[in-house]
Amino acid sequence: MSSTDRHYIEDAQLPATLCLTALTAATAVSLCRIFADWDYLRPMLVVAVGVHVVAAALRLLRTPIWVAFPVMLLGAIELLGIVFYRDTFNGPIPGSRTFELLRIDISLVLEQFPTAVAPVPSQGLYGIAATVALAVCAILSDTFAFRAMGRLEAIVPTAVLFIFTSALGTDRHRESVAALWIGCALIVIAALRVRHVGSGSSWMGSRRWGVVAAMPAILVTVGLTTAAAAALAPRLPGAGKPALVDTRNRGGSVTEVLSPLVDIRAEIVNHGDVEFFTVASSDGGHYWRLVGLPVFSGSKWDYTEEDLEPMGNRAGDVMVPGAVTTQDIRISEMTGHLLPAAYLPTSLSEDSIFWAGITESLILADSEFQPGDHIEIRSIVPHPSTEQLRAATTTDAPGDIYYKLPGGFPDVAREAAEAVTRDATTPFDKLIALQNWFRTDFEYDIDVQLGNSNDAIESFIRIKRGFCQQFAGTFAAMARALGFPARVAVGFTQGTVGGDGRYHVFGRNGHAWPEVWFDNIGWVAFDPTPGRGNGDTTSYTGVESAQDNSTGGGGDGDGDGAGGNPGPASSPPLATSGIEDGSETQGSGDPAATAVPSQGSSGRGGNSTSSIPFVLLIMCALLGAWMVFAPRVIRAQAMRHAPTRPERVISAWHRSLGALSLAGAPHPGGATPLEYATVAERSTGIDHHILREMATHVTRAVYSQGDISEHSAVRCEMLSEEVGSICRDRIPTALRLRALVDPRLMRVKYSG
């Protein structure tokens, strides 16, 4: 063995490096609890182990920390690019496209984390984000272990990731991965202790000034880990039944999940086996449409403000001949204000249900539907011929809003739309080509990124996997990019015929599809989602009727139905994302409790426990800064999204709703502002004059055609502050303390 090799083993601490690498690998294995399969593991290990190799090489060269740290970061970026984005490299170097794709993937994960359900797909952005997190942990762990001469501190980064996984993952391999990780952590602590007792000074400075020199690494580590740790409740895995983070809206009602503004995936997954309503139809099953969303903001498809009209008889709205169908709707568990119906409804049995002309939806305005409600609907389902559609133009839609695209719409989507439709000559043929491209080149997968933002659209086109929300939203946006007026419809597929002859519609039947305007014909439905098909459109789309017919466990939503692509092979999507009780307790497994006791300073190694008070001090300082500045940032962000006076009034109302909910008021559900003011007064005891005045202002801001005065906006903001002040005294102490640090509760409190 050469002198160089001996020098590395003795001073660069090869055994401890191997142990630390093993701990990082064990952390990677523990992530199996949040992923649907093991495909994530190989690329993750390549990157994580590669980072440790780079760090060890830099220590062998005795590179100072101010050079080594950025080199390790660059090495991690290079490895991430090679593994996930190799086709974007300029030779051996990541290109600008590499960083853009990485930014998109990370931003989508951060945006979608609050509604993610374990297990998530291991391929794609979740696997990439987890690999980035583990690479950062590897860099910080190595810095703590060999630059700051730490022992317990060296396992903190991976411990945060492990606890995070334990809190939000499923329960598969729970005991084995916990035993593996704790065992590796104890070995790392022991190995670092043995090596540090007789080692020389750290390469960030002498032993005497080791703590001071270690401050940069400590600050970076604590800054990165505190934000994640603050979101977790003070319970370790196995401590109780409730999940630390409610990723599946367990406390929410079907009303909340049914809202098209809430991700339709939550409806499909969380309420898959909940029967929403049943239908007796005179001519078989249809797509039961709830609403059409005309506004695309670049972040989501949404409603627009409109007036309600009496339903009356709207048979005159049908522009082409169609089949008359009558439906007898019986509500089971669906609440809310929107009534499903075959498109296009023309009359119904209830005078209390109104018509919203822009979204073409049926709305129960003054209350919400209750189980047992019974409504009869008459619809005329238009049946345009292929010849009519080919001859039709698309230049005279009901409004310019149906043509608009937001700034920053991704070029890749525009270019793909033009390429796919290049050989088609008519608007109809172009739209059929676009529909068939999605149905043949893409895969159906419920476990993918959510949303229809510009970034989500770009990611969806890149990975070619998604479910109905992505297919419908991206189709409609690409249709607009081609100059065609489009919107997104939300509703249900036909459901399952029961022994009573009625169609039974469940949460798993939740669906979204695009609609495109054709002059003198009206809105025409397409369905780009593989495995789904609307029988009413077969004559011109060529797509046969198909839906999800799976049962049990909430289904995988738009999973494998008749004629559909198989759903992803994974654990049941409804596997818990929280903590189960009884199977194990981790108290005695705390690495700090079972580690070899610290000795006094010996030789030149020093006592690394002397850095613990400084770490605690910094953590307290960062926590204090978080408590002071996070509310201001959240409030400022909310104010930036409310530039007009009506939006300021609505934002003030939402802040009041957040404060009231923390004080014990029930969720507003479908109540009008004035109705909710009465409910909140009874549950909190707040002076009804304050709440009713606010409710009056917000009702005017939402429904009035006129502008809101500056006085009204300022008055509503003052009343919101007063409500918040009153609610603070009514919030339970434990919840009040949590609201000081938990970003989710902060968002509820300060932005509603």
Residues 637 and 708 in one domain: yes
**Dihedral, CA of residue 430, residue 436, residue 437 and residue 438, to nearest 10:** 120
Residues 356 and 207 in one domain: no
- Of the CA atoms within 13 Å of residue 317, those in its CB half-sphere come to 18
Residue 378 in this model has a pLDDT that exceeds 60 = yes
Q: Kind and range of the H or E element at 85?
A: none
**Dihedral, CA of residue 78, residue 83, residue 86 and residue 91, to nearest 10:** 40
List the structure tokens of 186.
């104890």
List the structure tokens of 100.
């853009």
Share of the chain above pLDDT 70, in %: 69
Q: What is the pLDDT of residues 635-678, one digit of tens each?
A: 666 565 556 788 888 888 888 887 787 777 887 777 788 888 88
Q: What are phi and psi of 199, to 5 degrees?
A: -85, 165
Residue 308: C-alpha distances to residues 224, 357, 473 (Å):
50, 7, 26
- Residue in the block written with tokens 């270690």: 214
For the ranges 27-36, 203-212, 470-479, 589-598, the lowest mean pLDDT is seen at 589-598
Residue 456 in this model has a pLDDT that exceeds 50 = yes
The residues with which 492 forms a beta bridge, in sequence order, are 288, 510
Residue 603 in this model has a pLDDT that exceeds 80 = no
294 vs 251, higher pLDDT = 294
Q: How confident is the model at residue 23 (pLDDT cuts 50, 70, 90)?
A: very high
Over residues 98-127, the mean pLDDT reads 70
| CB 493 within 8 Å of CB 287 | yes
Q: What is the pLDDT of residues 54-94, one digit of tens each?
A: 998 998 888 888 888 889 988 888 888 888 888 777 777 77
Pairing mode, strands 465-466 and 443-444? parallel
| CB 580 within 8 Å of CB 595 | no
Q: How confident is the model at residue 619 (pLDDT cuts 50, 70, 90)?
A: low
Overall residue count recorded for the chain in this entry: 752
Residue 284 in this model has a pLDDT that exceeds 80 = yes
Q: How confident is the model at residue 589 (pLDDT cuts 50, 70, 90)?
A: very low
Q: Kind and range of the H or E element at 132?
A: helix 125-146
Residue 44: what pLDDT?
92
- Residue in the block written with tokens 């796919």: 420
pTM: 0.53
695 vs 684, higher pLDDT = 695
DSSP 601: P
Residues 128 and 179 in one domain: yes
Residue 488: what pLDDT?
92
Question: Quick one: CA dihedral 60, 64, 67, 69, positive or negative?
Answer: positive
Residue 671, Cα to own-chain centre: how many angstroms?
26
Residues 225 and 273 in one domain: no
Residues 6 or more apart whose Cβ sits within 8 Å of residue 208: none
Region of 534 please: left (phi>0), alpha (psi -120 to 50) or beta: beta
Over residues 522-549, the mean pLDDT reads 91
Over residues 206-229, the mean pLDDT reads 41
Q: Is residue 278 part of a domain?
A: yes
Residues 18 and 167 in one domain: yes
Angstrom distance (rounded) from CA 736 to CA 749: 10
Q: Which amino acid is at 595?
A: A
- Residue in the block written with tokens 């049946």: 383
List the structure tokens of 242.
């409730």
Residue 279: what pLDDT?
96
Q: How confident is the model at residue 245 (pLDDT cuts 50, 70, 90)?
A: very low
Q: Is residue 734 part of a domain?
A: yes
Residue 678, Cα to own-chain centre: how many angstroms?
33
Residue 515: what pLDDT?
96
Residue 748 in this model has a pLDDT that exceeds 70 = no
DSSP 495: -
Residue 101 in this model has a pLDDT that exceeds 90 = no
Pairing mode, strands 510-518 and 295-296? unpaired
Over residues 616-628, the mean pLDDT reads 62
Q: How confident is the model at residue 632 (pLDDT cuts 50, 70, 90)?
A: low
Q: How confident is the model at residue 160 (pLDDT cuts 50, 70, 90)?
A: confident
Residues 6 or more apart whose Cβ sits within 8 Å of residue 321: 382, 383
The residues with which 504 forms a beta bridge, in sequence order, are 278, 496
DSSP 360: T
344 vs 209, higher pLDDT = 344
Q: Is residue 304 part of a domain?
A: yes
Over residues 235-248, the mean pLDDT reads 36
Residues 20 and 112 in one domain: yes
Q: Is residue 551 part of a domain?
A: no
Angstrom distance (rounded) from CA 44 to CA 130: 8
Q: How confident is the model at residue 390 (pLDDT cuts 50, 70, 90)?
A: very high
Angstrom distance (rounded) from CA 69 to CA 143: 8
Residue 204 in this model has a pLDDT that exceeds 70 = no
Q: Is residue 192 part of a domain?
A: yes
Q: Say whether 301 sits in a helix, a strand or coil.
A: strand
Residue 255: what pLDDT?
24
Residues 528 and 664 in one domain: no
Q: Which amino acid is at 412?
A: V
Residues 158 and 299 in one domain: no
Helix (DSSP H) and strand (DSSP E) numbers for the chain: 25, 21
Residue 499: what pLDDT?
93
Residues 6 or more apart whose Cβ sits within 8 Å of residue 89: 81, 82, 95, 98
Angstrom distance (rounded) from CA 704 to CA 507: 35
446 vs 363, higher pLDDT = 363
Q: How confident is the model at residue 590 (pLDDT cuts 50, 70, 90)?
A: very low
* Number of neighbouring beta carbons within 10 Å of residue 387: 10
- Of the CA atoms within 13 Å of residue 452, those in its CB half-sphere come to 33
Q: Is residue 549 part of a domain?
A: no
Angstrom distance (rounded) from CA 466 to CA 596: 50
Angstrom distance (rounded) from CA 716 to CA 695: 9
Residue 248 in this model has a pLDDT that exceeds 60 = no
Residue 569: what pLDDT?
29
Residue 438: what pLDDT?
94
Q: Number of folded domains in the chain?
A: 3
Residue 563: what pLDDT?
33
120 vs 744, higher pLDDT = 120
Q: Which amino acid is at 614?
A: F
Most confident by average pLDDT, 412-426, 448-462, 663-677: 412-426
Residue 24: what pLDDT?
92
Supply the mean pLDDT for the chain: 74
Q: Is residue 514 part of a domain?
A: yes
Residues 284 and 159 in one domain: no
Residues 230 and 314 in one domain: no
Q: How confident is the model at residue 752 (pLDDT cuts 50, 70, 90)?
A: low
For the ranges 197-201, 353-357, 416-420, 686-690, the lowest mean pLDDT is seen at 197-201
Last residue of a domain, one of 541, 565, 588: 541
Question: Quick one: CA dihedral 14, 18, 19, 20, positive or negative?
Answer: positive
CATH number of the domain where residue 342 is located: 3.10.620.30
The residues with which 280 forms a beta bridge, in sequence order, are 328
The residues with which 518 forms a beta bridge, in sequence order, are 522
| CB 655 within 8 Å of CB 638 | yes
Residue 184 in this model has a pLDDT that exceeds 70 = yes
Residues 361 and 281 in one domain: yes
Residue 116: what pLDDT?
62
The residues with which 503 forms a beta bridge, in sequence order, are 279, 497
Residues 6 or more apart whose Cβ sits within 8 Å of residue 107: 455
Residue 609 in this model has a pLDDT that exceeds 50 = no
How far from each other are the two terminal CA atoms of the chain, in whole angstroms? 66
Last residue of a domain, one of 541, 569, 587: 541
Residues 323 and 228 in one domain: no
- Residue in the block written with tokens 């529909």: 435
* Number of neighbouring beta carbons within 10 Å of residue 411: 10
DSSP 179: H
Residue 605 in this model has a pLDDT that exceeds 80 = no
Q: What is the pLDDT of residues 60-69, one digit of tens each?
A: 888 888 888 8
Q: Say whether 182 sits in a helix, a strand or coil.
A: helix
Helix axes 612-640, 743-751, angle to 10 degrees: 30
Most confident by average pLDDT, 581-590, 604-613, 654-663, 729-738: 654-663
Residue 283 in this model has a pLDDT that exceeds 80 = yes
- Backbone Cα Rg of the chain: 29
Over residues 577-600, the mean pLDDT reads 31
Residue 382 in this model has a pLDDT that exceeds 80 = yes
Q: Kind and range of the H or E element at 558?
A: none
Residue 61: what pLDDT?
86
498 vs 203, higher pLDDT = 498
Angstrom distance (rounded) from CA 249 to CA 575: 14
Domain that holds residue 422: 265-541
Last residue of a domain, one of 517, 541, 565: 541
For the ranges 5-14, 143-152, 174-183, 273-282, the lowest mean pLDDT is seen at 5-14
Q: Is residue 591 part of a domain?
A: no
